[in-house]
């Protein structure tokens, strides 16, 4: 009888030990969403030197704004890289202000920026997150601008309203240097016409002071 009672007590204690043993909590890994890059803004006046560093891969677009009280006022922007690169990325009248893509150049880190302009300026570095158009499509704008077009095709119909010169370039997002871009136009306006383009380069850079329209009419399904 004593033996039976002992076994019952032992079984009860053994069962309680397992029932109150602490259980390991499940490990929950939180997903951290990548934060959007904020624009980097510089302001200045006259001839000025701005200090980085700025990674070109993260911020391949520069937007600049100036009062442009004198339409013949010249603005020059020079980038100095960490590997001693020197790039003149803008050298035009202030009437050509706007956004331009410099990411096609072989530069990784910008340590200094040299700006020359006879007045106040605002210079903003932007990430490559602009709206992407899908051809066939007509894109309208004004002034110096960057446009992204998926599947642009081979034929571009272009119009430009101002009676000065405009320029149009195509860039690759993957290839740097001379093999990563194509000049489509260096043309006096007003202009309206068609041109062959590279259907593999989807970044379009226009330099101009007036209204323009790009009509991508040859998209392949």
Q: 66-83 pLDDT, tens per residue?
A: 999 999 999 999 999 999
- Mean pLDDT lowest among 5-9, 42-46, 146-150, 159-163: 5-9
Side-chain half-sphere of 135: how many Cα atoms within 13 Å?
A: 23
User: What strands, in cross-sheet order, belong to the sheet with 40-45?
Assistant: 40-45, 120-126, 61-65, 98-101
Among 23, 89, 31, 94, which Cα is nearest to 62's? 89
- Per-residue tokens: 178: 């001379």
CA dihedral 97, 150, 169, 176 (to 10 degrees): 100
User: Mean pLDDT throughout 141-154?
Assistant: 94
What is residue 174's predicted lDDT score, i.e. its pLDDT? 82
Is the CB of residue 102 less than 8 Å from the CB of residue 62? yes
Confidence of residue 180 (pLDDT cuts 50, 70, 90): confident
> 118 φ, ψ to 5°?
-80, 60
pLDDT band at residue 215, thresholds of 50, 70 and 90? very high
- Measured torsion, CA atoms of residues 153, 168, 97, 61, in degrees rounded to the nearest 10: 60
pTM: 0.80
Would you state the pLDDT for residue 149? 94
Count how many Cα atoms sit within 13 Å of the Cα of residue 205 in the half-sphere of its side chain: 24
Pick the CATH number of 130-221 from 1.20.1560.10, 3.30.43.10, 3.40.50.300, 2.60.120.380: 2.60.120.380
| CATH 2.60.120.1380 location in the chain | 39-129
How far apart are the C-alpha atoms of 121 and 62, rounded to whole Å? Answer: 13
28: tokens are 């929950």
What's the pLDDT score for residue 61? 95
Q: What is the mean pLDDT of residues 9-29?
A: 39
Enumerate the CATH 2.60.120.380 domain ranges in the chain, comma separated.
Answer: 130-221
Residue 54 has, within 13 A of its CA and on its CB side, a CA count of: 25
Confidence of residue 220 (pLDDT cuts 50, 70, 90): low
* pLDDT value, residue 106: 82
Asked if the 39-129 domain carries CATH number 2.60.120.1380, the reply is yes
């Amino acid at each position: 009888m004593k033996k039976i009672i002992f076994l019952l007590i032992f079984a009860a204690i053994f069962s309680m030990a397992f029932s109150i043993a602490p259980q390991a909590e499940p490990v929950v890994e939180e997903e951290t969403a990548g934060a959007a890059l904020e624009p980097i803004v510089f302001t200045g006046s006259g001839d000025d030197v701005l200090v980085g560093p700025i990674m070109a891969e993260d911020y391949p677009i520069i937007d600049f704004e100036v009062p442009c009280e004198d339409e013949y006022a010249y603005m020059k922007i020079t980038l100095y890289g960490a590997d001693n690169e020197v790039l003149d990325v803008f050298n035009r009248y202030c009437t050509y202000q706007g956004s331009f893509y410099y990411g096609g150049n072989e530069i990784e880190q910008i340590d200094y920026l040299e700006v020359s302009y006879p007045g106040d300026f605002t210079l903003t570095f932007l990430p490559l997150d602009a709206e992407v158009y899908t051809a066939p499509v007509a894109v309208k704008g004004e002034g110096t601008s960057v446009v992204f077009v998926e599947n642009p095709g081979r034929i571009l119909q272009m119009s430009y309203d101002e009676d000065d010169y405009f320029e149009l370039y195509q860039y690759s997002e993957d290839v740097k240097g001379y093999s990563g871009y194509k000049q489509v136009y260096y043309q006096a306006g007003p202009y309206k016409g068609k041109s062959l383009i590279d259907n593999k380069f989807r970044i379009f850079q226009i330099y101009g002071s007036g209204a323009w329209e790009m009509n991508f009419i040859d998209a392949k399904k």
